[in-house]
Chains A and B, each alone.
Chain A
Amino acid sequence: MRTLLRILVTFTAALAVGAVILLVSGRSPLAVYWLLFQQAFGSTSAAADTLLNATPLIFTGVATAVAFQAGVFNVGVEGSLYVGAFAAAWVGFTFTTLPGWLLIPIAFVAGGLAGLLWALLPAAMKAYLQVDEVVTTLLLNYVAIDVTAYLVTYPFLAPGAANSMSVPVAKQAELPRLLASSQLNTGFFVALAVAAAAAWLIRRSVLGYEIRSLGLNPWFARTMGMPLARTVILAMCVSGLIGGLGGAAHVLGVNYRFVQGFSPGYGFDGITVALMANNSPIGAILGAVLIGALRNGGTTMQLFTNIPLDLVNVLEAIVILLVTVDVGIRIRARRLKREPVA
């Protein structure tokens, strides 16, 4: 409850700061926000598009939140998203003879596994060699983006395609759409289920207890005899897994193929979402919907008015600013505490 309130307060504060900027640039904030709201929630198809925009952010937000809960600053969900998307696409266009009820789960599993494996290397380096995960996961994002780009530019380039993309997945691997007027598909429900599962894992499982203890107070976790290195690795695995599932959902639900550079930064928006939600998976749903609404509303607004999409970027930047002030303080505190090594 408090988390949801926190998200709304942060978001409202961002809107308030944005209002000042709008005023300075000679526009009426109320009119602009009303337009934004109309475009994001004003009709069934607008609302559906907002949820469509929110879907990858739920995955990446929850993925980030799980790692952050363990005190592991995984900023590499973007990388897991890419390798997961590619793996799911590969399954989808390779095993085309399988029926949909089998092919879709296999594609998701492949995507999740790929994302997990991608997170494993920085996880092990953090757990056993105390290599800072912020650096490794951040840099590995670009490796993932470029490696997948190579794959669909050369070995897996669709014949006759002008842009770097793979061939489409089998028709039966496509996730069903929910409405005729929107691309919103059942991937959204997968996202909700993943968020619920992550929330359960964090709150109710033994691993979740270890993750929370480690993240909140590593000294306590150590004194309780918890396996610190293993907890770091498992938290990263879950995080990478969810990121990979997000990539799979995007391929099977929206693009139906792997497209080079398909993500406009879902993994990074996921960090904003997780921070807004104070690392609560359920809170991440709300955070993702709000950011999704901004993205959706902003895009259409740009089409019909002279208000640039940059406004949305500014608003999101303010959200990030507001939440990172808080997080920055916490990271500083963590550094000052001098953590025990895993």
Chain B
Amino acid sequence: MSSAVSLRGVSKAFGPVQALDSVDFELAEREIHALVGENGAGKTTLMRILAGLEQPDAGRIEIAGRNTTIPDPQTASRLGIGMVHQRFQLHPSLTVLENVVLGAEPSSYGLFGKRRAMRQVGELAERYGFDIDPGARVSSLPVGVRQRVEILKALHRGADILIFDEPTSVLTPQETQGLFGILRSLKDDGKAIIYISHKIWEVLEVSDRISVLRRGRNGGEVPTREATAEVIAERMVGHELPPLQRAVQREVGAVAVEAHDLEVEDDRGVMAVRGVTFSVRKGEIVGLAGVEGNGQRELIEALAGLRVPTSGEVVLGGQTVTRYNLYERRRLGLALIPEDRDREGVCAQLSIAENLLGNRYRDRPYALAGVLQRRPLLELSHDLMGRYAVRAEGPSALVKTLSGGNVQKVVVARELSGQPQVVLAVHPSRGIDIGAMRAVHQELLDLASAGSAILLVSGDLDEIFALSDRILTLFEGTVTGEVARATATREVVGRLMLGTGRAAA
């Protein structure tokens, strides 16, 4: 087995942070090699080095057996390394064809050889079974197809080594299966693929070999057929994970939050939520599954009081609150873990304590007669930082000095402490490591056991299935189905998320 890529003893430090510490990595030809690890484990840094975006402090890089350096992305491209980014680097107003050839246009006498480009792209698409119209404008394409454009772009530049960075984070289960098919056909055609992910089951399904990175060091390498999810998870976090504790029989009580015929517009005035009705009872976790951009944001904002619905009603604890603002709804026991942690969840330049204060800053004992009280806040901060295992120097540490997982713990600690009646949890574990994710999930389960009603919004079916009692699917602003978790399968939920399934009981 010859190597397409071989990295030996690669190290890279950013200031005091050792992002990579003498890491070895080997990619064989005709192989799908998965690279897994928690956030901040160094996956992205390693790939940026391969893509010529970062220079290693030490170590050797061999491409196809030849010692080399990759000073810039152009060199990477010449060496046959192509990257499919998590955030697509496409021009929405150009066509598929134009995007694919942009920067590497076939030309004759300085004129764009459109016919030749068309032929090249058509051949590529056919070879790998992409069903794609080269003349379509990218802005009109669904996400899964845009990703194929991105792949075509790399192939058109002659990439033999393809790097996929979290490629499924924006895909539906069906689109994910489609991607896996593409990956396999690429492999069969002789391409070598690095597949970066933190979703273990995906990696187990698609890869040939799995390498684990843990805190910038090699965490071991296993052939996929010998790997199990538990083993990989343990290697990622470095210790065994406690299983989720789920109350055997939860008391499901009265309706805590309900939406009636809710219609909500997005920022552009386009109807994003079209007549949604549902309710969540006390002690219940309802998962709202859907591909991002199908009205989740607008629905949650309407439930939270951040966006005025054009019609319909929101009822919180038996009280119609459609006209209440978020502050008033919070007073009725609403908690919100917002979608965008860094932008909406915290204020990075404020301290941990001041961030924990956010949802109670006008309440006793934290404020008296308009004056903030330091001591109660300090006590609260110490207590919450202990309970939620926030790793930081102390309550006065600025949130911007924390890692992503710890930032999310601050958000979760603030929102879930103080017995909320209703929790709107949007992507509560996005971008945080497995250990922190497990803690957040356990906290949500415990809250449900204690009688809170929880609406969990997630595009990650693992998360939806791990926590929900019932699953609602949202597609283009309407609820396309409702299934009990016990009877649900990924396939059914996935189809409902695409609006192609039918509601099962």
Residues of A participating in the B interface, judged by any CB pair closer than 8 Å: 204-210, 212-213, 216-217, 219-227, 337
Contact = CB atoms under 8 A, between A and B. Distances in A.
Contacts of B372: 204-206, 208-209
Given A223-B326, A227-B327, A205 B358 contact: no
Interface string B318-352: 00000001111110000010101001111111100
A217 B354 contact: no
Given A206-B372, A217-B343, A337-B343, A225 B348 contact: no
B457 to A, nearest CB: 15
Contact of A220 (B325, B345, B362, B367): B345
Given A209-B357, A224-B359, 13 more contacts: A205-B372, A206-B370, A209-B372, A210-B361, A216-B349, A217-B343, A217-B347, A220-B345, A220-B346, A220-B347, A224-B326, A225-B330, A227-B325
A213 B344 CA distance: 11
Nearest to A204: B372
How many interface residues does chain B have, given as a range? 20 to 34
Task: Find the residue from A207, A213, A337 having the highest chain B CB count within 10 A.
Answer: A213
Interface string B351-371: 000100111011000010011
Contacts of A213: 347, 350, 358
A226 B360 CA distance: 11
B306 interface: yes
Given A206-B370, A222-B344, A217 B359 contact: no
Q: Give 6 closest A-B pairs by Cβ, nearest first.
A: A225-B327, A225-B326, A224-B358, A220-B347, A217-B347, A223-B344
Contacts of A207: 370
B343 A206 contact: no
A204 B371 contact: yes
Contacts of B346: 217, 220
Contacts of A337: 343
B350 A216 contact: yes
A219 B343 contact: yes
A216 B347 CA distance: 7
B349 A223 contact: no
18 contacts: A205-B371, A206-B371, A212-B350, A213-B358, A217-B343, A217-B349, A219-B343, A219-B344, A220-B344, A220-B347, A221-B347, A222-B326, A222-B344, A223-B344, A223-B345, A224-B361, A227-B327, A337-B343
Contacts of B338: 223
Contacts of A209: 354, 357, 361, 372
A206 B327 CA distance: 14
Interface in B397-447: none
A208 B306 CA distance: 22
B340 A219 contact: yes
A224 B330 CA distance: 9
A223 B336 contact: yes
A225 B347 CA distance: 14
A225 B305 CA distance: 9
A305 to B, nearest CB: 45
A217 B348 contact: yes
B340 A220 contact: no
Nearest to A209: B361
Contacts of B336: 223
A221 B326 CA distance: 11
A40 to B, nearest CB: 35
A157 B401 CA distance: 60
Contacts of A226: 327
Nearest to A217: B347
B85 to A, nearest CB: 20
A224 B329 CA distance: 11
A127 to B, nearest CB: 15
A208 to B, nearest CB: 8
A212 B372 CA distance: 13
Contacts of B326: 222-225
B464 to A, nearest CB: 23
Nearest to A340: B306
B361 to A, nearest CB: 6
A178 B138 CA distance: 74
B381 to A, nearest CB: 15
Nearest to B337: A223
A213 B325 CA distance: 18
Contacts of B357: 209
A217 B305 CA distance: 19
A207 B361 CA distance: 10
Contacts of A205: 370-372
Nearest to A200: B371
A225 B325 contact: yes
A205 B372 CA distance: 5
A217 B359 CA distance: 15
A182 B73 CA distance: 67
A342 to B, nearest CB: 12
A208 B338 CA distance: 24
Nearest to A221: B347
Contacts of A219: 340, 343-344
B192 to A, nearest CB: 38
B343 to A, nearest CB: 5
A207 B359 CA distance: 14
A9 B111 CA distance: 55
